[in-house]
Amino acid sequence: MAAMLIADFGAEVIKVEGPGGDRMAAHPGYLCWNRNKQRLVLDLERFEGLHAARQLLATADVALFDSRPGELERLGLDATTVHRANPSLVHVWLPPYGTVGRWSQLPPDELLLSGLSGVASQQLSYEDRPVSLETPQLGYAQALDAAGAIGSALVNRARTGRGEAVVVSGMHTIASVESGGQTKFGDVMQVPRSGSRGNTPNYRLYRCADGLWLFLGTLTVPFFLRALEAMDLMELITVEGVDGEFTNLLRPPMDAVAIEWLDRRFADKPREEWLKILLEAGVPRGPVGHREAWFQGETVAANQMRVELEHPAFGRVELPGVPAKLSATPGSVRHLMHDAKLAELPTHRPLLPGYPQDFAGAGPLAGIRVLDLGAFIAGTFAPTILACYGADVIKVEALDGDPFRMAGMQFVGHNRGKQGLAIDLKDPAGKEAFLDLVRVSDVVLDNYRIGVRERLGIDYATLREVNPGIISCSITGYGPEGPYAQDPGFDPILQARSGMMAGQGGDDEPVFYQVAVNDSATAMMGAFGIVAALHARERTGQGQEVLTCLANQSVICQSGELTWYEGRPANPPGGRDRLGTSAVNRFYQCSDGWIGVACSRPEQFPQLCIALGHPEWAGRVIAEKAAAEPVNSALAEQIGAELAKLTRDEALDRLLARGVPAAPALTLPERFADPFAEENRSFDEYVHPQFGPVTGPRAFADFRHAGGGFARPSPVLGEHSLQVLRDCGFSEERIARLVAKKVVLQA
């Protein structure tokens, strides 16, 4: 899928497959993820195939691999070896787990990675157990993460002429989706409470009188007060224990009281009536829908996120469109994958700069200045990714700050690596100062609602007049057109509308994803769109506008589930506190914790039976059918009973000794103390000026030559205001006037 995004924007992508084909070839998503590509069959285990692959690599711009550690070295396809023949190559390795350590050799499996990373245990549940996501969100995230890293390395190559060795592992992926969720202050961390509807009354699933569900997305105080007023529940503010202080409604024990009140109130009316009431009051809300209806709906159509192509065997195929819209160099879906012949491939010569430059600082984006006007997650996390890759990111906030600062650990985790500038853009002097910053910057990013940029006078047309080379990226909830274009877009509202929640819940109630799927994916897509535009600017000298939205990512992050053709196989079912997909691919409880078991090949099932001391099970269940045994089948009960007698370590030793893929399902405290996380340098420890000692994700990718990483923690409001203005050429006198007039705030 990472290569799909590169191909969408014009790259000639050759997918090399072995004679046995791709392990995902039967999945409907294979058609989407390999669009715009050519397929070339090479047997890398034979001299002829390996020699041909090396010849292609000698003139390639980018090479992607997802092998387990040691495989590339065995074949001589590792970065060090390949760079001898092609020093300008961007070599990208996507190991499924980590680069080193005990679990790095496991075959790729979404369930095992979610357990090993703590993501499964962080998912909201009723029974306090790890939960398997119905959609492969970690796989999607690794692809989006890798696309941004590839683009950043190509930007660096276009400026310096140097190739790169990039690693985007499964552990990097967890950093990209849990930047806030796996951040802790000292020993204080975020542990989810029971239930899959949401833990706070203002940001939660509710069932209405007709049994249908909606999500109330009032993340901020003004929105929640507006909802209480529309629902005739303002008396909640006067209840003993709340005592007129709104924030008491969001803390135990009064949050439970508020939830009880809202549960009863929503049960009074059918969903359509509540949606109308909340819409008229301007309250963020969304009905729980189904993915198929969403894919066929007006919002997806307005954003060109559904395209149709013809397949020679399947006929008409519907698949997602291009999720990032670039005004000058747009992407497109041109064709499904077709076969290529080695002898007929055109010759290729990498395009390198005539006058290579060097840039001070670490990271492939060193020397790039980004003005970050984003708030919450989707907007402001995109510049955080760019900061990790070396960009100089300035977080530009209003004088009262990003409303997401109230989220503490989430804010700190999603805003690392930036300088902080607090400025009033509504004041003419503040707007003038901002436009002067634009003159000396490369990128401006915002996630304002439709029309706000124009009202502030900082829309792309205005910025382009100031700086023709500027890249202006705007992130919205639903895109510039469509029925919800004017609505505020919060991540779980898109989870609800797009069918994610219903899919996860299956035939039970819908489920609120703990991973902010649409927020984090939209941030990664924004970062990718920006680096694609920066790369184009190296050729054209011109900037452009980049648009993306949460709605687009609600489609891309269900691309395998939404790709449709007549007779396509059904998606795996969801369910309450979902443990997995079958008796041999699910989480099991041992005497002291949980593990994930993932038998993906028929020969592994008999070995599982032997490992648990019951070889006779293999005689009762044909190995090929074991994967079809339901999660709660008699076979699953038997396996569970045996594993419950064992400690987690003993169970893993027994299974792994027989070649059965398995890994621990860690709790969040275990994740922070995990040796595998330490071996793969998953976390950083640093001191925050406001919150003291902090532990959080280290990086979203590693660049062997350019380096990277975070230069600083998230900023205090206005922490670097004066220094930012000085660095951008403002005189001391002008700075003093801006501060004196309270246009600029220095912490």
CB distance 588 to 632 below 8 Å: no
Kindly report, residue by residue over 90-135, the tens digit of the pLDDT.
999 999 999 999 999 999 999 999 999 999 999 999 999 999 999 9
Neighbours of 693 (CB within 10 A): 12
The pLDDT score that the predictor gives to residue 743 is 99
Instruction: Report the CATH architecture of 582-669.
Output: 2-Layer Sandwich (3.30)
What are 287's strand-pairing partners?
Answer: 214
| Residue type, position 105, single letter | Q
The pLDDT score that the predictor gives to residue 139 is 99
Cα separation of 359 and 674, whole Å? Answer: 37
| Residues in the chain, pLDDT under 50 | none
The pLDDT score that the predictor gives to residue 624 is 83
CB distance 545 to 518 below 8 Å: no
The pLDDT score that the predictor gives to residue 537 is 98
CB distance 293 to 499 below 8 Å: yes
Element (DSSP H or E) covering residue 88? none
The pLDDT score that the predictor gives to residue 473 is 99
Kindly report, residue by residue over 173-199, the tens digit of the pLDDT.
999 999 999 999 999 999 877 899 999
Write out the two tokens for 690.
């406001």
Cα separation of 616 and 606, whole Å? Answer: 9
| Cβ neighbours of residue 579 closer than 8 Å, sequence gap 6 or more | 129, 130, 131, 132, 586, 587, 631
Instruction: Give the single-character DSSP code of 41.
Output: E
pTM for the full predicted model:
0.98
Write out the two tokens for 385.
């990714």
Longest dimension (CA), the chain: 85
Neighbours of 440 (CB within 10 A): 12
The pLDDT score that the predictor gives to residue 354 is 76
Domain parsing of the chain, residue ranges = 220-283, 582-669
Instruction: Specify the length of the chain in residues.
Output: 747
Smallest Cα–Cα separation from 429: which of 730, 746, 720?
Answer: 730
Cα separation of 585 and 577, whole Å? Answer: 15
The pLDDT score that the predictor gives to residue 570 is 96
SS3 state at 315 = strand
Q: How many CA atoms lie within 13 A of 249 on its CB side?
A: 25
3-state secondary structure string across 168-181: CCHHHHHHHHCCCC
The pLDDT score that the predictor gives to residue 355 is 76
524 alpha carbon, distance to own chain's centre: 6
| Cβ neighbours of residue 672 closer than 8 Å, sequence gap 6 or more | 182, 184, 189, 683, 695
The pLDDT score that the predictor gives to residue 191 is 83
Cis amide leading into 715 (omega within 30): no
Positive or negative: CA dihedral 300, 301, 303, 304 = positive
User: Which positions are catalytic?
Assistant: 519
The pLDDT score that the predictor gives to residue 662 is 99
Which ranges constitute the DSSP H helices of 128-270?
137-160, 170-177, 221-230, 254-266
The pLDDT score that the predictor gives to residue 10 is 98
